[in-house]
Structure formats: structure tokens, C-alpha cells
Amino acid sequence: MARRPRTSKPSREKLDDALAELATSVVGEFLLEPEGRAAYRATRTKAALRKAAKTLTPDPLDTFDVTGGGQIALLPTPLDDHFMVLIQHAAFRAAVAVHYDMDDDGPAPAAVVMFDGDVAQAFKQVRTWIDELDDDLDDDDGPFGGLAPDDLVSMLMDRLAPSREALPANAAERVRAIANRTAAKLRKNQRVGPNDADMAWMDQHPDCLDTIVDLYVAACTAKRRDDALIASVQAMLGTQLEFIRYQVERGWDWANDLVKDYEQRILALADSKVLQVEDWSFLPTTFSHARLPVSPEAAEAFAMAGASISPAVAPEALPGMMRDLIGNMAAEIGDPFELIEAVMEVTAAAPPAMRAYIAHELALSSNPVAREAVPPMLLDPAPEVRQAAAAALEQTAVPDTMAPVSLRRIIAVRNWVPVGDRPAVDRAIRKAREKGVEIAPWPPGADVSIVASMIDGVGAQSLMFASRTGRTGLFAMILLKNGVTDTTCMPDEPRRDIKQSLDMLRQTAPSAEVDRGFADAAVQHAIAANLAAGTLPPAGLLNVAERIGASDWKDRALDPSEDTARLFAELTPEERTEPAIATSLRRSETWTRGNDMFATWFEDSKAIHDLVAGVPRRDSAKALRLVLDEGLEKLRGAWAERLLLLTLWARATSEKPHQGRWKDFLILAHCLSSGRKLADIPLMRTAAQRTIAVARGEGW
């Protein structure tokens, strides 16, 4: 934000501009922090609004003193997203109305609704306060784009990349308090977890994983069993492992060490036999909950440990027991996707050979639900399980044992599996056709609205599919991050819960309703990304596809270079000129100011930390060059891909302001794809500056 030229005799118009600038800065600073947003949301409840209606002046959201003997108060108003900023000073008084667009994370023009006092003194004082609140915002003033490095580190680390802090002495008390709060909510049948502050504390203290295990053991062995508390601690274990997984993916050795220590703790608990087999068996499944891979060695050890604490069973009785278990599960669950989800949860930490055996038993079961659960097993993470499932399907590919819906599902996932698996799948399809198995038609897709979040700094995006009408309906979600990583599918969700889930997505990330074309392109690009990375989409993706009628999802990757060039060529000649591009780049850089989602656009990995660690803190210019030229340059392709997807996302919605940004996203993608120096792209410089700030704020 460039400073306005100062004049000796400011006009009232200039004063109003300065007051508006000050007021919008105050509101923006307050809402930048999660605590501020939470405090404002608390004023929007029915009870709070009724209370406010009985008073002439609502309680301030924030009040603070400023230099020169002044005071500023921020007040909510009866209108959503509207605020009043009251300014008191010995020489003047003012009130400014501010409309802060929560969807755009930015203020609209403010209006001075009251002023009384000396214009010249007021202008001088207000300009001083603006300088104090918003100092050094010009790019030339320093490498951190207007935020002092320490302030930026604090902001980012608090909200985005919490540091790994030493475990405090009262960690056990804090863990129990979090568990008790969540358990209390569970007893009231509330579908909520730890609050933001608790989640942040857990993220900052990954070493509390062992403390959570201690609490789990204590809860399971207590004389009076508290199922709500146990369920709460189980959820905490999954959450904490997921936090640790993020750090494993970023290359931190200490995170891998925590996982290994957790594996050893599970095995030690099996040896001690302090837990009942059902309680112990939950611990290996936490790897699946957190989508944390289990090494073959650990899986084998878990299987042996589980056998050691289970009641002795004669080897010859095991096959019969397994068949009975599968039959009972199929009869009780009644849905092939839920059956596979249950099997995957129980066997996630078991050797793949166990799931390969289960695939064979399911295919030979007399229960049709069990047989229909085999096609989703073609998406198992383990190659031997996929091979066993394909062989079992080929063996049973006759009308008596293969339902038409199973053949349709086999065909649907054929292009989702690795190329090396496809010949075996093709043999099962070919035999089924030759033996006269009919192909079931795709069910008509539900009439759904599709809401997609904006892609964040790690490339993650959520797609939500929700029935438009009905007291109950479909709610499904697909999480994309370098592929399809997770799915949820609830066909008969109450309308109230559907709305709550959609509202939660919009509160946690900028989101917009998009057309079906974008959803199809994003999912198919993600399937291709799965195959390129040697991973597979979860079986639940097939369930979602059937519910919404996505019969044509295949491994279709976007080409960032070609697709960006094609879209760029569709712009007018004037929009493709260098001056127009430069204007667009400057405009896109301003989005990062005060916007939570754009604030996630930085890189956080061990490699980046090592790069920055070799540069003295005082030499910010060198650190910036290194991160741009050696850090982000290696990731140019990933950023170009991300910005192409954002272009398509913004173009696929009619919601403002997202729709109005698609050309700017496209120009960013074009500059990255065409090889423009990263240092000449303001947004990439900002991303590099944030990357440095986060790296220098890491405590370990």
C-alpha cells in the first residue's frame, strides 16, 4: 500500500480517505487472527444478537490505545460483516463504518459517518497511526513485503506451520483436558472434535503422542470404563498421527523417529498384555486413520503381536473362522463399500497376504454383498492384494457368481489401476463378457451442487457434492492432494448436517460452487497423479462416482504447459501485452495481504530449512535469492500446475470475487510455464519471503 503524499493543508476529503484507511486496517488486523474471527462469530449467534438488540452500544470486539493519547474501539453491528470503528483523541472524534467481505477476506470501501474536531490535527495523527499499524509496506522497504520478519513468522507459525516446541511439564494435564472436552461433546452426540486452540497445541507438540497413548491405556484399564473418553482419545491418536504425517512428508527425520517409536510402543503393549485384545487391536488401525503407511516389517510384527495376545486357535480352524467372520460382516453391513472400508480398517496394519486371502474368500462367498466387495479391492495399496482380487474375479466371472454391477465396477476402475495390473483386470472382464455376464447400467446421478475449496499452499483441495433438495440426501467429499487421497460418502445425510458441513468448508477455506466440468477435470487429473506417484485412489472414489453418475472418470492428466498456452491464447491481444501482464502480476500479489488462504502459499520442507539455515539471518537478500533460484525453481512445475487448476476453478464459478480472478491466475500460470524469472513474479517473491520466515521460525 503506497503512502499518500502529505500536504500542509489537508482537505476533509483527504482526511476521510485516511480515516477509512485506518479503519479498514484495524478491522483487517483483527480478523486476520483465528481468535478475532472466532470472537466476531460469537456475536452472530441468536442469543448474542438478542442481547445486543437491548443495548444502544454493543460491547467492543477490541479496544486499544495508540500514540498521542488516542483510543480506537472496534464494534460489531447488527448487519453481518459490517463493523464500526470509533476513534477518540483530544483534538477530534470520528466513527467509520467498514464492510469487510468475509468471502473475499478483504474490506470494501469504508465510510466516515461522524467527524468532529480539527481536520489538520486529525489528518496528521491518523497518518501517524497508519504508519505505525502498516509500516514498511512498500516492496522497496524490505524483503518481507510490509511485515517485519518476526511478525510474519509469528503470524504464519501460529496459523499455518506451528513449530515443534518442547513438551511442557503439564502435558499430561493438557492432553487429559482436551480428551475430556471432546468426550463431553460426544456424550451430547455432537459431531465435533478438539477446538482450534487444542488442535494448535497438539500440532505444536508432536511429542505428546506418547502422552496420548498413556491416557488411552489408562482409560482402557480403568475400573469404571468410560466409552466416550476412550473414543475421544482414539480420535486424538488419529489426529496426532496425521499431524506427524505432514512432517514425515516434508522430510523431517524426527517425525520418522516418532512413528518408529510409536510402532515399538504398540508392540511393547502387546508384550505386556496390559490391554484387552480389542483395545490393543485399535492401535495398529490408527495408521489407516491418519493415512500413514505401515512398513512391511511393522505389519508383520503387528500381526505376530496380535496373535500373541489373542485366544489360541488351532491353525486348521482359522479358514472357517475367517469365512464366518466375513459372512457375518457382510450380512450385518449390507453395503459392499462399507464392508471394504471395515476390512481395510481392521487389516490396514496387517500383512498384505491377509487381505489377499480375504479377497479370495469374499469372491467365493455365498453372500452377494461379499462378492460385490471384491472389485473395490482392485484399488488396494498392495500389489499382491490387487493381483489376488483380479485372479479371484477371473475365477468367478460367470453369471452365477458375478453380478452385473460388479462387472460395471471392474470396468470403471480399470483405468484407475497401474498399467501393470491392467492385463489381469482385462482377463477378468473378457471372461465375464464371454460367459454372458451383463453389464449393469450406471445409476442416474443425484442432482447435486458442487462446492470446491481454493487450492492451498500444499496443493490440497476439497470437493463437496451435496443433494440440492430433500430432508435427507447425498453428501460426499473428495480430498485432492497430489492425487485422490480421501473420500467420504453418506447417501442419506440429514439436510441440517449437509448444510453444517458446507458451512464449515466455507469457513475454513475460500470456497465456491463450481460446475461439473471442473470437478470432472480435477478428479481425473488427480487419478493420473495417483498413478504417476505409484499410489491409488481409495475405493470410496468408486462409491462417490456411482452416486453422482460420474461414469467416465479415467486417468486424464492436464498438461500445465499446453493447457495454459491454449487458455492464454484465448485472451484478447490487449490482455496479452507486457504492460497488461505486469499489471496483472502486481494485482495478484496484493491478494496475499490479509488473506488466510494465500498466506499458505509457501514451501515448508527439510530441504528448504537446510537451504535457509546456511544463510545468516541478517542477509535476507541472499536467502531470498537462494530460495527463489534453488528452492522454488525446482518446484516451478508444481506451482504452474496449481495455478492452472486455480484458473479452471475460478472460471468454473459465478461467485465473486473468485470468478473475477481467473485471468490473473492464468497469467501467473503462463509466466511460470513460459520460464519467466521467479524474481520477476511478485507473488513468487512473496511466497519465497514467507518460506524464509517459516524456515527461520522453526524451533527444531
Give 267-280 pLDDT, tens digit per residue. Answer: 898 888 898 888 88
- Phi/psi of residue 236, nearest 5 degrees: -65, -40
**pLDDT of the residue at 698:** 45
Alpha helices in 33-170 (DSSP H): 34-42, 46-53, 119-133, 149-159
Q: What is the pLDDT of residues 442-455, one digit of tens each?
A: 998 889 999 999 89
Instruction: Give the mean pLDDT of 504-532.
Output: 91
Distance, in Å, from the CA atom of 177 to the CA atom of 529, rounded to the nearest integer, reads 41
pLDDT at 314 over 60: no
- Residue 688: exposure state from Cβ atoms within 10 A (0-12, 13-18, ≥19): buried
Instruction: Give the mean pLDDT of 390-398.
Output: 95
CB atoms within 10 A of CB 41: 12
Over pLDDT 70: what percentage of the chain?
84
Higher model confidence: residue 346 or residue 94? 94
The domain limits of the chain are 12-135, 171-309, 321-434, 448-548, 560-697
Residue entry with cell 486424464 = 556
**pLDDT of the residue at 671:** 96
Beta-bridge partner residues of 487: 478
Higher model confidence: residue 563 or residue 696? 563
Give the neighbor-by-neighbor strand order of the sheet with 472-480: 484-494, 472-480, 461-467, 448-453, 511-514
**pLDDT of the residue at 199:** 80
Q: Among 21-35, 229-243, 457-471, 509-523, whose mean pLDDT is lowest?
A: 21-35
Higher model confidence: residue 52 or residue 402? 402
**pLDDT of the residue at 190:** 60
Beta-bridge partner residues of 511: 453
Q: Among 68-77, 571-580, 683-692, whose mean pLDDT is lowest?
A: 68-77
**pLDDT of the residue at 108:** 55
Q: What is the pLDDT of residues 638-658, one digit of tens each?
A: 999 999 999 999 999 988 778
Residue 434: HSE in the Cβ half-sphere, 13 Å Cα cutoff: 9
Distance, in Å, from the CA atom of 291 to the CA atom of 535, rounded to the nearest integer, reads 12
pLDDT at 362 over 80: yes
pLDDT at 14 over 80: yes
**pLDDT of the residue at 137:** 34
Residue entry with cell 496373535 = 307
**pLDDT of the residue at 317:** 54
Distance, in Å, from the CA atom of 98 to the CA atom of 76, rounded to the nearest integer, reads 10
Over pLDDT 90: what percentage of the chain?
38
Helix or strand run (H / E) with residue 92: strand 92-101
Q: Are 446 and 489 in contact (CB under 8 A)?
A: no
pLDDT band at 161 (very low <50, low <70, confident <90, very high): very low
- Secondary structure of 363-418 in HEC code, one letter for each residue: HCCCCHHHHHCCHHHHHCCCHHHHHHHHHHHHHCCCCCCCCHHHHHHHHHHHHHCC
Higher model confidence: residue 92 or residue 532? 532
Q: What is the pLDDT of residues 617-640, one digit of tens each?
A: 888 889 999 999 999 999 999 999
Q: Are 529 and 649 in contact (CB under 8 A)?
A: no
Beta-bridge partner residues of 462: 479
Based on its alpha-carbon atoms, the radius of gyration of the chain, rounded to whole angstroms, reads 29
Three-class SS state of 98? strand
Q: What is the pLDDT of residues 207-234, one digit of tens each?
A: 999 999 999 999 999 989 998 899 999 9
pLDDT band at 146 (very low <50, low <70, confident <90, very high): very low
Distance, in Å, from the CA atom of 488 to the CA atom of 424, rounded to the nearest integer, reads 29
**pLDDT of the residue at 678:** 95
pLDDT band at 152 (very low <50, low <70, confident <90, very high): very low
Higher model confidence: residue 5 or residue 75? 75
pLDDT at 236 over 70: yes
Angle between helices 34-42 and 12-32 (to 10 degrees): 100
**pLDDT of the residue at 65:** 79
Q: What is the pLDDT of residues 282-310, one digit of tens each?
A: 888 888 778 787 777 777 787 777 666 66
Q: How far apart are the first and last CA of the chain?
A: 35
DSSP letter at 164? -
Higher model confidence: residue 349 or residue 382? 382
Instruction: Give the mean pLDDT of 240-264.
Output: 88
**pLDDT of the residue at 305:** 75
Instruction: Give the mean pLDDT of 322-344.
Output: 78
Beta-bridge partner residues of 480: 461, 484
Q: Is the pTM for the entire model greater than 0.85? A: no
**pLDDT of the residue at 160:** 41
DSSP letter at 474? E
Beta-bridge partner residues of 86: 73, 95
pLDDT band at 407 (very low <50, low <70, confident <90, very high): very high
**pLDDT of the residue at 135:** 45
**pLDDT of the residue at 328:** 75
Three-class SS state of 426? helix
Q: What is the pLDDT of residues 529-574, one digit of tens each?
A: 999 999 999 999 999 999 999 999 999 999 999 999 999 999 999 9
pLDDT at 140 over 50: no
Across the chain, what does the average pLDDT equal?
83
**pLDDT of the residue at 355:** 85
Among candidates 564, 565, 584, 560, which has minimal Cα distance to 574? 584
pLDDT at 95 over 90: no
**pLDDT of the residue at 4:** 39
**pLDDT of the residue at 52:** 56
pLDDT band at 156 (very low <50, low <70, confident <90, very high): very low
Q: Are 238 and 286 in contact (CB under 8 A)?
A: yes
pLDDT at 57 over 70: no
Beta-bridge partner residues of 106: 101
pLDDT at 103 over 70: no
Q: Are 241 and 209 in contact (CB under 8 A)?
A: yes
Q: Are 602 and 694 in contact (CB under 8 A)?
A: yes
**pLDDT of the residue at 510:** 82
**pLDDT of the residue at 24:** 83
pLDDT band at 431 (very low <50, low <70, confident <90, very high): very high
**pLDDT of the residue at 158:** 40
**pLDDT of the residue at 384:** 92
Among candidates 198, 201, 237, which has minimal Cα distance to 220? 237
> What count of residues does the chain have?
700
Q: Are 424 and 389 in contact (CB under 8 A)?
A: no
Higher model confidence: residue 397 or residue 30? 397
